[in-house]
Amino acid sequence: MTDESSSASHLSDASTTTKGTTITGGYTMTSSSSLGTELYFYLAVVVIGVIGTAANALILYALVASEQHKKHVLIVNQNALDLYGCIFLIITYSVKLCNVHLTGWLGYWLCKLLFTDNILWWGVLGSIINLAIIAIERYLKVVHAQWSNIKLRSWQIYSAMAFAWIGAIVYINTLCFLTSTVINGVCYTMILKTDYNIFLHFLAITIYVIILLIFMSLYS
């Protein structure tokens, strides 16, 4: 973690390229008239997270109780990712509602992991990747049934499930840690330095565009 002077220098360099979003204690720094609206928005997000957590937990319970979880491991992984995302949706926005002043190591990690929605997006992006994997697996079983029965193995499915988690964590961590910093108790997010632009755009293309192409090709 850099000290405040180096963080200020980092922010100064970044401002020449792309403006960042300033978040202090969870609230985006705006006029007082819009603060109430943002507060209600955060509360609504927490409620959505509670509903999503209950729904996904119920689906997982139904899969296990009916002993279908061994037959549909990718669906189980999908619900696990969605459940994870809903739980951290509640945690992230509950912490943002507390209006915490970010100082020291705790403030640094709160900014990097929660106020940037870092941990939350592990589940969101992992869910997108897993959906693409499900689409590929279903396509192979329907269109190339004989080939998939011979070639498709359990270890390949489990490896794909692990990739959905690991790939999402690596990508989101890279994005959030390179584009956020804490200065005087304030979390600044989406600060892009010129050196990072090509790298981050490359990651965006390889993740989002490729997944979009997978869906378009399989469902067209």
Q: State the pLDDT at residue 199.
A: 65
Mean pLDDT, residues 43-69 taken together: 94
Q: Residue 80: which region, alpha, beta or left (left: phi > 0; alpha: psi -120 to 50)?
A: alpha
Q: State the pLDDT at residue 194.
A: 55
pLDDT at 143 over 70: yes
147 contacts 154 by C-beta, under 8 angstroms: no
On average, the pLDDT of the chain sits at 81
What's this model's pTM, rounded to 2 decimal places? 0.77
- CATH class for the domain made up of 4-219: mainly alpha
Q: State the pLDDT at residue 18.
A: 42
Q: Residue 104: which region, alpha, beta or left (left: phi > 0; alpha: psi -120 to 50)?
A: left
pLDDT at 44 over 60: yes
3-state secondary structure of 187: strand
pLDDT at 34 over 90: no
Q: In whole angstroms, what is the distance from residue 205 CA to residue 84 CA?
A: 25
Q: State the pLDDT at residue 192.
A: 60
Q: Residue 157: which region, alpha, beta or left (left: phi > 0; alpha: psi -120 to 50)?
A: alpha
Q: State the pLDDT at residue 11.
A: 42
Mean pLDDT, residues 106-118 taken together: 92
- Would you call 93 exposed, middle or buried from its count of C-beta atoms within 10 A (0-12, 13-18, 19+)? buried
Choice among 38-47, 138-147, 209-218 with the minimum mean pLDDT: 209-218
Which of 15-24, 99-108, 165-174 is most confident? Answer: 165-174
Q: State the pLDDT at residue 90.
A: 96
Indicate the pLDDT class of residue 10, thresholds 50, 70 and 90. very low
- What percent of the chain has a predicted confidence (pLDDT) above 70? 77
Express each pLDDT in 158-201 by its tens digit. 999 999 999 999 989 988 888 888 888 888 876 665 555 666 66
Tell me the domain boundaries of the chain. Answer: 4-219
pLDDT at 205 over 80: no
Mean pLDDT, residues 70-83 taken together: 94
Pairing of strands 27-28, 21-24: antiparallel
> Which of these, 213, 197, 208, lies nearest to 171 by C-alpha position?
208
